[in-house]
Amino acid sequence: MQLTPEQLENYLKKSLAPLYFISGDDPLRVMEAADAVRAQAQQQGFTERDVLTVQPGFDWGSLAAAAGSLSLFSERRVVDLRIPTGKPGKEGAQALRDFAEQLPDDTLLLVTAGRLEPAARKSKWVQALDTAGVVVFVWPLDASQLSGWVRDRMQQRGLQPAGDAVALLAERTEGNLLACMQEIEKLYLLQGAGPVEADDITRAVADSARFDVYVLADSALAGEAARSVRILNGLRGEGVAPPVVLWSLAKDIRQLVLMAASMAGGEPVAKVLARFRVWANRKAQFTRALQRLSSSDCQDLLRQCATIDKVIKGRAAGNAWDELLQLTLQLGGVNAIRPAPLTESA
């Protein structure tokens, strides 16, 4: 059974599954979901917990050993298995499948992991965990969801934020919910419960936004040019390599070329999205891009990717980050104007 983090809370009030698998790249929301499972398990008598962290050389036999070992102090236990990379390897995948197929009595397995790639989410070991218990994939919050999340968390702490205060805090901590919670706590300590204005955020909150290349691609596809530039600058400041940024953008642009060609032939956008198996959480972004960009526009963007690749490899003149900025703006719907090349006077 697959649930969202929001659905998990209500599910736990009604039932406790023998197995939970929580995966995502947002440490705070993954931690909160796992905490909710642990709290409910403790209420139902699972008073002992064994924590296992998968690291190089990890002995997967310890998973079965932890579940099967007897305790002098507790009859029910939680086996808290943590896979930071989200990659258990061949031996680990088999151990997890074996565990899921023969669930031990009086043991609850809680597995937390980093974000899984699409292929890994379809793997046999994830399917086995899904069949045996509850799977929760923690997706990043989009801009609209983030504002609501920030407002709710501020209100829970007794703060009464103005709309522009919420928007500013969300912007300064986007992609880093843990930093957002820390800033909310700092605001509370500085001024206590009560109204919060945008000026209060400006004075007290540092810019702690953290992005990845996937967020950049989604923002550019959605036509959010200004936000995309901010994300690109953040990636550059965090030391992300230009080839990684180009890979993320080019991957989606190649797909846009094929999809735009299909639409030019008369195929409806809904069918194009379905045929190219666009994930549900990205359909809106691709739809906006396909409505904004023609087939020739997409081909121009792909040719621009090839040029940037040459710049990165030193085979063409230019600055890779300047070129990536141009590409990001054009993908986002802004026709950036390139300066005319300088010519020597006669």
Query: Domain check: are 197 and 235 in the same one?
Result: no
Query: Is 15 domain-assigned?
Result: yes
Query: Per mean pLDDT, which range of 59-73, 161-175, 242-256, 305-319 is the poorest?
Result: 59-73
232 and 105 co-located in one domain: no
Question: Residue 172 belongs to a domain with what CATH number?
Answer: 1.10.8.60
**Per-residue pLDDT reduced to its tens digit, 188-216:** 888 889 999 988 888 887 777 777 888 89
User: Quick one: what percent of the chain has pLDDT higher than 90?
Assistant: 49
**Residue range of the domain that includes 60:** 2-138
Residues 133 and 150 in one domain: no
Which pLDDT belongs to residue 345? 41
Give the pLDDT confidence of 226-263 residue by residue, as tens digits. Answer: 889 999 998 998 888 899 999 999 999 999 999 999 99
- Specify the CATH number for the domain of residue 29: 3.40.50.300
Any domain includes 265: yes
Q: Is the pLDDT of residue 144 over 80?
A: no
- The predicted pLDDT at position 340 comes to 45
- Output phi, psi for 296, to 5 deg: -70, -35
Is residue 160 a part of any domain in this protein? yes
Residue 123 is assigned to a structural domain of this protein: yes
pLDDT value at position 73? Answer: 54
Q: For the segment 298-338, what is each residue's pLDDT rounded down to a tens digit?
A: 999 999 999 999 999 999 999 999 999 999 999 998 875 45
Residue at token pair 């396909």: 290
Please tell me the predicted confidence (pLDDT) of residue 74.
54
* Strands 107-113 vs 77-83: parallel, antiparallel or unpaired: parallel
| Residue 105 is assigned to a structural domain of this protein | yes
Q: Is residue 345 part of a domain?
A: no
Give the number of domains in the chain: 3
Question: Given this model, what pLDDT does residue 336 score?
Answer: 55
At 235-245, the pLDDT tens digits run: 998 888 899 99
Examine residue 298 and state whether it is found in any structural domain, yes or no.
yes
| Domain's final residue, options 82, 112, 138 | 138
Confidence of residue 71 (pLDDT cuts 50, 70, 90): low
Q: Are residues 76 and 126 in the same domain?
A: yes
Q: What is the pLDDT of residue 294?
A: 92
Statement to judge: residues 134 and 15 lie in one domain: yes
